[in-house]
Amino acid sequence: MHSKTTRRGARRVSKVALARVKLATIVAAVVLFLGSLTGIAVFNPGVQSAAAVPAQPQQIIVVRRDGSQSQLVVPRPNVLAVPPLVRSRGS
Amino acid sequence: MLKSSSFRCMTTDIELFLDASDGGLGREVLRRAEDLFRDVEARFSRFLDDSELSQLNRIQAESVQVSPDLAELVALAIAAARNSDGIFDPTVIDALEAAGYDRSIDLIRKNGTHAPRPVAPHPDRWKEVVVDTARSTVRLPAGVRLDLGGIGKGWAVDRAGAMLQPYGAGMVSAGGDIRAWGDQPGLQSGQGWLVALDHPEEPGKDLAWLRVRNGAVATSSITARRWAGGHHLINPRTARPADTDLLSVTVLGPTAVQAEVAAKVALILGREAGLAWLAEQPGVEAVLVDESNAMFGTSGIEGVLA
């Protein structure tokens, strides 16, 4: 009787373990899937990553020859399109 | 097929791209362009004792026979000084050395440098430099030496671009100095090449993407070649690192030499005077980033944003 209970207990434990494994597999698959999506955005043969794209829209104050000014929102780069291959920085 | 090559030279990272139909030939001309950069560094670096420029700098107050390339480069530097009323000044070596830039930036980053020393300004001594490109001669006045670092890099970029251009669309980048022609693979015809504009205080973060169509880009920044007590952009009127309200200036222009000079001049002048000066330069657009990271652009900047 005792051993039966133990076997039932063991069976119950293994069912729980199996459920956990299944859950972990599903979570891992979801993580890998999301990771691969991120990878598409991050990986490119160019200079930059998704993190390099400004999170907030940048603005440029355009100063005309007569001194008048206007604000221009910098177009948000499309990271899934062809990226720049180089970066211009002070050197 | 797009071929590329990257290497370090002139204390900066060089990248070459060529969309050549003949892959073997593309690789060969990229090798030749790399040789060109190494040759320019060997001949025109002020940090190499045996360079042609160092030899010229040791002979003053007499006319010296130089290579046609050096004569051309000196002529370009003097023309830039004239066009900027001396704000671009290739004769400020004493002030550069006094500020701590008496060794290559790689050595400064590794070992540091001395504390800044005061030095008296001697503006407009560039006016006494005599260059004859027809005879390939240069005469430096007594006490004057030349630094052709920045303009030499732009010149090498333009030269490499001219060398590669017959073989297909391409781009040459030497740190912040870029020359591009034709169209980047994957972009539509006439779209040119995309260039990311780097944040001066957060390298790797894009401020914007620029579209370069058969032209050049150059960025000058006080945050790049910097050390305790100074940076490498000298105001000739004070003989000290420029006290400017700008962190960086990026200029798009017809050639890398023009863009390099214009970026440096605007940075030294500061936002207001820099924008006014840039407005007078034909074929030039610019983005200026000030101390608060606000961006300012010239009137036609919208046309070059990607």
Asked whether the beta carbons of residue A63 and residue B297 sit closer than 8 angstroms, the reply is yes
Handedness of CA B63, B69, B75, B77 (dihedral sign): negative
DSSP E strand boundaries for chain A:
59-63, 69-73, 86-88
Report whether pLDDT(A21) > 90: no
Low-confidence stretches of chain B (pLDDT < 70) are none
Q: State pTM to two decimals.
A: 0.83
Asked whether the beta carbons of residue B208 and residue A85 sit closer than 8 angstroms, the reply is no
**pLDDT at position B271, please?**
97
Beta-carbon contacts of A80 under 8 Å, excluding residues fewer than 6 positions away, are A40, A41
**pLDDT at position B228, please?**
73
Q: What is the mean pLDDT of residues A2-27?
A: 58
pLDDT digits (tens, 9 = 90+) for B33-49: 999 999 999 999 999 99
**pLDDT at position A51, please?**
44
Choose among B186, B198, B275: nearest Cβ to A89.
B198
DSSP E strand boundaries for B84-176:
130-132, 137-139, 168-174
Choose among B185, B209, B295: nearest Cβ to A84.
B209
Q: Look at chain B and count its residues.
A: 306
pLDDT digits (tens, 9 = 90+) for B147-156: 999 999 999 9
Axis crossing angle, helix B149-164 with helix B23-44, rounded to the nearest 10: 160
**pLDDT at position B100, please?**
85
pLDDT digits (tens, 9 = 90+) for A24-53: 666 656 654 554 444 333 333 345 444 455
**Is the Cβ of B298 closer than 8 Å to some Cβ of chain A?**
yes
Nearest CA in chain A to B12: A91
Burial class (CB in 10 A: 0-12, 13-18, 19+), B214: middle
Sort out which chain B residues have CB atoms less than 8 A from A59's CB and list them. Answer: 295
Asked whether the beta carbons of residue A87 and residue B218 sit closer than 8 angstroms, the reply is no
**pLDDT at position A65, please?**
87
Nearest CA in chain B to A88: B176
**pLDDT at position B288, please?**
98
**pLDDT at position A37, please?**
44
The backbone torsions φ and ψ at residue B96, rounded to the nearest 5 degrees and listed phi first, read -60, -45
**pLDDT at position A9, please?**
55
Asked whether the beta carbons of residue A82 and residue B186 sit closer than 8 angstroms, the reply is yes
Nearest CA in chain B to A82: B186
Choose among A48, A63, A65: nearest Cβ to B206.
A48
Sort out which chain B residues have CB atoms less than 8 A from A87's CB and list them. Answer: 195-198, 206
Distance of alpha carbon A32 from alpha carbon B140, whole angstroms: 66
Distance of alpha carbon B170 from alpha carbon B164, whole angstroms: 7
Distance of alpha carbon B170 from alpha carbon B5, whole angstroms: 12
Greater confidence, A3 or B133?
B133
ipTM: 0.87
What letter represents residue B111's amino acid? N
CA neighbours closer than 13 Å in the CB half-sphere of residue B191: 14
Distance of alpha carbon B22 from alpha carbon B1, whole angstroms: 8
Report whether pLDDT(A89) > 60: yes
**Is the Cβ of A44 closer than 8 Å to some Cβ of chain B?**
no
Q: Look at chain A and count its residues.
A: 91
**pLDDT at position A41, please?**
33
Give the CA distances from residue A49 to residues A45, B176, B258, in Å, rounded to whole numbers and listed in that order.
10, 19, 30
Distance of alpha carbon B131 from alpha carbon B186, whole angstroms: 45
**Is the Cβ of A41 closer than 8 Å to some Cβ of chain B?**
no
